[in-house]
Amino acid sequence: MHTLDVALGARSYPIYIGQGLLGQDLLRRHVRASQALIVTNETIAPLYLDKAKASLGDLAQVDTLVLPDGEQYKTLATLEKIFDALLANRHSRTTTLIALGGGVVGDMVGFAAASYQRGVDFLQVPTTLLAQVDSSVGGKTAVNHPRGKNMIGAFHQPRAVLIDTTVLDTLPPRELSAGLAEVIKYGLIRDADFYRWLEVNMAGLMQREPALLAEAILRSCRNKAEVVAEDETEQGNRALLNLGHTFGHAIETATGYRDWLHGEAVGAGTMMAAQLSADLGWISQADVARIGALTRAAGLPVAPPPGMTAEQFRSLMALDKKVMDGRLRLVLLKAIGEAVVTDQFDMQVLTRLLEKMCQH
Amino acid sequence: MHTLDVALGARSYPIYIGQGLLGQDLLRRHVRASQALIVTNETIAPLYLDKAKASLGDLAQVDTLVLPDGEQYKTLATLEKIFDALLANRHSRTTTLIALGGGVVGDMVGFAAASYQRGVDFLQVPTTLLAQVDSSVGGKTAVNHPRGKNMIGAFHQPRAVLIDTTVLDTLPPRELSAGLAEVIKYGLIRDADFYRWLEVNMAGLMQREPALLAEAILRSCRNKAEVVAEDETEQGNRALLNLGHTFGHAIETATGYRDWLHGEAVGAGTMMAAQLSADLGWISQADVARIGALTRAAGLPVAPPPGMTAEQFRSLMALDKKVMDGRLRLVLLKAIGEAVVTDQFDMQVLTRLLEKMCQH
């Protein structure tokens, strides 16, 4: 087992990474009183809910809640079901919520924990690669609004993140690819060595070689933990983690959070950010080709969905959380392994890119 | 004009108290970018919305939202209307929300500001006595759940609190009394001098003598600011501010947040806490009589609503936020001017009190 620390002073917490961790007593150690609520979804419940419950051993009160599966349920309405379950079972301010699932479950349970009685403990047990390498670490929690993704939320750090790599055995292929989009992101924004390692090992990762997956998760979480420790509430460099996300969120919102997985939208969005960086003359077209090859090798789309228009992108991107006082800010590449957050780019270049990429 | 400081390090902010402040440029000074959304209710809008809007002067974008008036609308559903208005008008992360209204508007707008894009600025412009002396100061924000009051919320401090005492001229008599319940509270829990001042001046306060109201607001806010500065997130002594509130919340929940104002429920709840303190032998029956006399002089009820049962109290109080690991904690009096938060009391004495007070 590897243990990483997210260094945030009094809010610091461990990330445990290893095989079969859900069968150990790690969760129990981080429940501070006698109550817990495990929240999961219909896909994960039959696979791992009993195991998670058993791992809490002697705890006096362990309740469970099973939500529908899918980004389209990451709403205030579903959040209310979590509050209903907490209140119906009389959970007090010392309770612990446990998010057992992918990014949707983790984001919602985290926001429920941030808001229930103005803040209770929660633990992340991510069951998708995407949640393991990205969304479970760093305390960003949220639900979606019909007009925009993650528009309603809070910064609320978990007490621990438990990454059992065994659960990836049951992960559908599309979900594996979606997670790899965020893995590639770390290489692109700040870790050129890791990016080269991914180019060498992508085929093995797609074949789910356990040692390679463990290495990719560890290096991704280490990058994430470093960025979060430096900038918990995204006043500065944390925004680099959003490479491809402004384009990606527009795709997700335009398609109603139904057709594309978040990671797939990020994959296509990263290609758009890379191409824009090249069109601005910041990276070479050869760099874009390299990124395209790795993205395809990870089984990810490299262009927006057919039928989506440049006008949809412009309208939805204007609502992005990175807009500051009317100026659109994007994460763009200066090199493979180096990104910047900037509003200093020619909007006409962006407009031409959107027209070009939406013509297919 | 008086200015008090709520000392919370980087989150410190001023409380401005004075006549006619809404006509000055104080609000404008605390709006950091070019967008603002003023949220108010149907009662306050015709009285003060134009004035608040005008005070923002040259700001590029000022939107307004008028909500229905009443504690029964302090829900996730109404909160969603605030998010809808923010997104429909493309408010970015640098926007400022302005809560123009009583405690319900302030609590909801505060929670909307805490959650919108994971946190934006907000300003409090309280228009009821209760909001001016209590709920607008200290950063507690929340909405209600059908099963419990303020169960969903956040700690999120405003950037400034603007208390224009002129607005009390239009306050209905019941609302004035409701505010006085919280004023009396400060005397009871930590300020015996202020309590005696209130005994002398209650008749003048009920006649709305401006100088007396201003003095009561200033001394209340000073007490509140000191408590909050010592214990922002209620790990300890901040809970003293909840004197009468555990009983009061049970009354509000049992009556569907419709019949009694929050301050009225707190008035009756404070009498119940005082009588319990006497039944436990901590204060004298003469103290209880003094508190009863002041409560009546403020036009407040001194007993729970007819028809409410001891069993309802027991059930609803078990869900209170101050319950810790199964033990009910209450704020009780050791003297007039001194309160404690404790779970060290005989539950049978509480049971007998509930039976006795619910027989009328």
Same domain, A190 and A132: no
Same domain assignment for residues B52 and B118: yes
On whether both A116 and A232 belong to a single domain, the answer is no
Which ipTM score applies to this complex?
0.91
Q: Is the pLDDT of residue A104 over 80?
A: yes
Decide if A41 is catalytic. Answer: no
Task: Decide: B244 and B275 in contact? Cβ < 8 Å.
Answer: no
In the residue annotation, A234 being an active-site residue is answered as: yes
* SS3 label, residue B1: coil
Sign of torsion, CA B120 B123 B124 B125? negative
Catalytic, B252? Answer no
Specify whether A242 is catalytic. Answer: yes
- Which residues of chain B from 260 to 289 reach within 8 Å of chain A, CB to CB? none
By C-alpha distance, the chain A residue nearest B116 is A152
Of A116, A150, A170, the last residue of a domain is A170
Q: Is A245 flagged in the annotation as binding? A: yes
Q: Report which of A322, A321, A317, A301 is spatially closest to residue A351, judged by C-alpha positions.
A: A317
Q: Is the dihedral of CA A324, A326, A328, A334 positive or negative?
A: negative
> Domain tally for chain B?
2
> Do B222 and B139 belong to one domain?
no
Query: β-strand A13-18 against A160-164: which pairing, if any?
Result: parallel
Closest chain A residue by Cα to residue B112 = A152
- The answer on pLDDT for B326 being more than 80 is no
Residues of B with CB below 8 A from A322's CB? 93
Q: What is the pLDDT of residue B256?
A: 85
Instruction: Look at residues B119, B4, B72 and name the one whose alpha carbon lies nearest to residue A142.
Output: B119
B319 touches chain A (CB under 8 A): yes
- Structural domain including B297 reads 173-357
**How many Cβ contacts (< 8 angstroms) between chains A and B?**
105
Are B87 and A148 within 8 A, CB to CB? yes
Average pLDDT taken over every residue of chain B:
95
Structure tokens at A117: 């009685």
Asked which of B289-303, B309-323, B344-358 is least confident by mean pLDDT, the reply is B309-323
Please name the residue of chain B whose CA is at the shortest distance from the CA of residue A85. Answer: B147
- Same domain? For B113 and B262 the reply is no
Position B198 scores a pLDDT of 98
Residue where a domain stops, chosen among A141, A170, A199: A170
The residue annotated as part of the active site, out of A91, A219, A245, A321, is A245
Separation of alpha carbons B17 and B26, rounded Å: 11
Tell me if residue B201 is catalytic.
Answer: no
Inter-residue long-range contacts of B73-81, CB under 8 Å, 24+ positions, other chains counted: B73/B104, B74/B104, B74/B107, B74/B108, B74/B142, B74/B143, B74/B144, B74/B257, B75/B143, B75/B144, B76/A76, B76/A79, B76/A80, B76/B143, B76/B152, B78/B108, B78/B143, B79/A76, B79/B108, B79/B111, B79/B112, B79/B115, B79/B143, B80/A76
One domain for residues A35 and A147: yes
Select from B287, B289, B292, B319 the least CA-distant residue to B303. Answer: B292
B293 touches chain A (CB under 8 A): no
CA distance B346 to chain A (A): 21
What pLDDT digit, counting tens, does each position of B278-289 carry? Answer: 999 999 999 999
Mutate to test the interface with A, among B118, B147, B319, B329 (most CBs of A within 10 A): B118
Q: Are residues B164 and B179 in the same domain?
A: no
Has residue A321 got a pLDDT over 80? Answer: no
Contact A325 B83 (CB under 8 A): no
Phi, psi of A221 (to 5 degrees): -65, -35
Pair B337, B209 in one domain: yes
Domain identity same for A158 and A220:
no
CA pair distance B56, B22, nearest whole angstrom: 10
Dist CA B238 CA B230 (whole Å):
8
Specify whether A89 is catalytic. Answer: no
- Domain of residue B95, CATH code: 3.40.50.1970
Neighbours of A44 (CB within 10 A): 22
Show which of B151, B170, B189 is a domain's final residue.
B170
Same domain, B165 and B35: yes
Our measurement of the distance from residue A324's CA atom to the centroid of its chain's CA atoms, rounded to an integer in Å, reads: 23
Instruction: Give residues 19 to 38 of B whose Cβ lies within 8 Å of A.
Output: 33-35
Distance from CA of B205 to the nearest CA of A (A): 34
**Closest CA relative to residue A138, chosen from A270, A17, A4, A322:** A4
pLDDT of residue B324: 66
Chain B: nearest CA to A148, how far in angstroms? 8
CA distance B158 to B45: 21
| Size of chain A in residues | 360
Based on the fold, state whether residues A47 and A144 are members of the same structural domain.
Answer: yes
Judgement on whether residues A259 and A290 belong to the same structural domain of the protein: yes
Q: Compute the nearest-CA separation of A173 from chain B (Å).
A: 32
**pLDDT of B17 over the 90 cut:** yes
Q: Does residue B3 surpass a pLDDT of 80? A: yes
B213-260 pLDDT, tens digit per residue, is 999 999 999 999 999 999 999 999 999 999 999 999 999 999 888 889
User: Can you give the CATH number for the domain in which B269 is found?
Assistant: 1.20.1090.10
- A166 marked among binding-site residues: no
Residue A258 designated active-site: no
Residue showing tokens 């998760």: A217
Alpha carbon B346 to chain centroid, angstroms: 29
